[in-house]
Structure 1
Amino acid sequence: MELRHLRYFVTVAEELHFARAAERLHMAQQPLSFQIKQLEEELGVTLFRRTTRRVELTEAGRALLAEVYVALDHLRLGVEAARSLERGETGSLVIGYASMALYNLVPLAVHHFRERFPAVQVTLRELCSPELEEHLLKGTFDVGLAIQGMYEPGLIYETVLREQATVAIPRHHPLAKRRQIPLRALATEPFVMYERAQRSLIHDQIMALCGGAGFSPNVVQEAASEQAVIGLVAAGVGVALVSTCMSGLRTEEVAYRPLTDPETPVEYAVVWKREHPSPLVRAFLNVAREVSQQAGSRIKS
């Protein structure tokens, strides 16, 4: 028995007229009659009582029709579920994110994604590189929002947002009078730095940046989180290099000035496993591309 046989049967049962059913199915009447006869022989029951004047369902035919309606409805729901999954409209998505992305991409991307795909279960996990990449490779995370800086051959990185590095300094620090600050002006300043054990990628990037400017930063205090770094700057402990997205934190106590010489971009990337991405990952990537325009400058491919 094939699905087409059931559709033929339903159409004849609804029309109770072979000629009208054949017209509805866009086929000739004789092949339709033959297909129904084949179905009856396969099932070993008579489905229709035929006379020269009318066609009627038998008791067996009525019983089958009721069950076929249920089966076709389940099939329709299954097909729609498969199509919804392929469109990225249902399922589950685990997003790993670097904590700094909480200040720009994460709120916008997750909010818009949930609005657009309310049937998708979204789970968020905070983790920094390289652990974030390890979870993506293992399949623990489906997609990541990371700060660009490392490359793992098993993953694809698409930079969607670029911000400039900013100097965070105590509000009453002499450097706060400047409109922008060259990196070499910080050579003798005490630094507040991310703990390398917690933020190894960012820590090493800042050390390399300062080394390129001809000095090694005088790190007087390390902190594990963005809020802690800014809190220590507010307390006058030292200066810090941060991304522009953090320049709204504790503005009564901390001044933020663009870093120049060199101007240094902080790039945020959507990351996923190099294997063909799932429809949900593609859907999230599209949302991240869109909301990056609201969070900052879009990166053109």
Structure 2
Amino acid sequence: MELRHLRYFVAVAEELHFARAAERLHIAQQPLSFQIKQLEEDLGVMLFRRTTRRVELTDAGHAFLVETYSALAHLRQGMELARRAERGEAGSLVVAYVSIALFNLIPGVVRLFRERFPDVQITLREMCSPELEEHILEKGCDVGLVVQGMHVPEISYETVLSEQAMIAIPIKHPLAGQGPISLDDFASEPFIMYERTQRSLIYSQIIAMCLEAGFSPNIVQEATSEQAVIGLVAAGIGVALVSSCLSELRTHEVIYRPLAGPATLVKYAMAWKQENTSPLVKAFLNVVREVSQHATLDPSL
């Protein structure tokens, strides 16, 4: 049985006339009659009662017509779904992200992507580098939003957002009332850092910033999340270098100040396996680019 057999059967069942059905299908009547006969032989049932004056569906024909309509509808749906998947409008997408992205790009990107592509099932997974890159390589996720710093040859990176690094200090800190502050003003201050083993990339970047400012930070506490870092600053345990996207957290207890001198930027990048040419990945990247245009970008990018 082939798809054309079903199309021929429906035409005859609706017309109840072989000549009109053949005209509708743009084929000769004799081949149509032969194909219907072949279909009946394949099924082992009579689908039509034929006389010299009329054609009628048998009970078996009526039952088969109902299922044929359903099968053809599912087929049309499947064809449309395949076309939409090819255009990046349907399917599933797994997106990994570093936790700090929840404070800048991820909410807006996911909201807009779901509005644009409601038939795409998007799964979000919070990860840290280098685990995130490993999942991309192993196809455990399709695309990731990372803090730029790593470089894996098999992965493509595109910088999409840059944010100024800020110093977060307790609200009663002596420097809380000042404007831009030099990082070396905090050389003797206790520092709160991200947990080294879980957030090694951003940990190393903060250490490098401090060393460039001429000192090694006095780390008194480590924390695994952005909220925990800010909470510890609010408790007066120390100061912390953070991305500007966190500057709305606990503002009644924490003061955020920009750093004096050349702007120090935290850069974010989209990452995906170079060989991944999925239309869904391309569609997601386009949405990220659009959303990132409304954020603060480094003019040099």
* TM more than 0.5: yes
Q: How many angstroms does 1:42 deviate by?
A: 6.0
Alignment of 1:141-156 (within 5 A): 141-156=141-156
Report what 1:227 is aligned to: 227
Task: Give structure 1 stretches of 5+ with no counterpart.
Answer: none
Report what 2:100 is aligned to: 100
Q: Is the 8 A contact 1:163 1:296 kept in 2?
A: yes
Report what 1:240 is aligned to: 240
Q: State which drifts further: 93-102 or 169-178.
A: 169-178
Report what 1:206 is aligned to: 206
CA–CA distance in 1 between the matches of 2:300 and 2:287? 15
**% identical aligned pairs:** 70
Amino acid at match of 2:199: R
Q: Kindly provide the CA deviation profile for residues 264-295 of structure 1, in whole angstroms up to 9, marking residues without a partner as x.
A: 22122222233324444344333333333445
Report what 1:78 is aligned to: 78
Q: 1:71 to 1:231 in 2, by over 3 A?
A: closer
Amino acid at match of 2:169: I
Q: 1:282 to 1:12 in 2, by over 3 A?
A: same
Amino acid at match of 2:15: E
Q: State which drifts further: 189-198 or 30-39.
A: 30-39
CA–CA distance in 2 between the matches of 1:263 and 1:109? 26
Q: How many angstroms does 1:251 deviate by?
A: 1.5
CA–CA distance in 2 between the matches of 1:299 and 1:274? 26
Q: State which drifts further: 243-252 or 67-76.
A: 67-76
Q: State which drifts further: 254-263 or 57-66.
A: 57-66
Report what 2:113 is aligned to: 113
Report what 1:15 is aligned to: 15
Q: 1:46 to 1:252 in 2, by over 3 A?
A: closer
Report what 2:5 is aligned to: 5
Q: 1:85 to 1:268 in 2, by over 3 A?
A: same
Q: How many angstroms does 1:53 deviate by?
A: 4.7
CA–CA distance in 2 between the matches of 1:140 and 1:67? 39
Report what 2:65 is aligned to: 65
Amino acid at match of 1:140: G
CA–CA distance in 2 between the matches of 1:296 and 1:42? 67
Secondary structure at the counterpart of residue 259 of structure 2: strand
Amino acid at match of 1:7: R
Q: How many angstroms does 1:63 deviate by?
A: 4.7
Q: How many angstroms does 1:26 deviate by?
A: 4.0
Q: 1:67 to 1:188 in 2, by over 3 A?
A: closer
Amino acid at match of 2:183: L
Secondary structure at the counterpart of residue 21 of structure 2: helix
Amino acid at match of 1:235: A
Q: Is the 8 A contact 1:292 1:298 kept in 2?
A: no
Amino acid at match of 2:246: M
Aligned residues between the structures: 301
Report what 1:256 is aligned to: 256
CA–CA distance in 1 between the matches of 2:67 and 2:222? 69
Secondary structure at the counterpart of residue 281 of structure 1: helix
Q: Kindly provide the CA deviation profile for residues 112-150 of structure 1, in whole angstroms up to 9, marking residues without a partner as x.
A: 334444555444332211122222223333332221111
CA–CA distance in 2 between the matches of 1:110 and 1:59? 52
Amino acid at match of 2:257: R
Q: CA RMSD in A?
A: 3.3
Report what 2:170 is aligned to: 170
Amino acid at match of 2:161: L
Q: Is the 8 A contact 1:170 1:239 kept in 2?
A: yes
Secondary structure at the counterpart of residue 181 of structure 1: coil
Q: How many angstroms does 1:201 deviate by?
A: 0.3
Alignment of 1:16-55 (within 5 A): 16-27=16-27, 29=29, 32-33=32-33, 35-36=35-36, 39=39, 47-49=47-49, 53-55=53-55
Q: 1:47 to 1:253 in 2, by over 3 A?
A: closer
CA–CA distance in 2 between the matches of 1:226 and 1:42? 67
CA–CA distance in 1 between the matches of 2:57 and 2:235? 86
Amino acid at match of 1:171: I
CA–CA distance in 1 between the matches of 2:235 and 2:42? 85
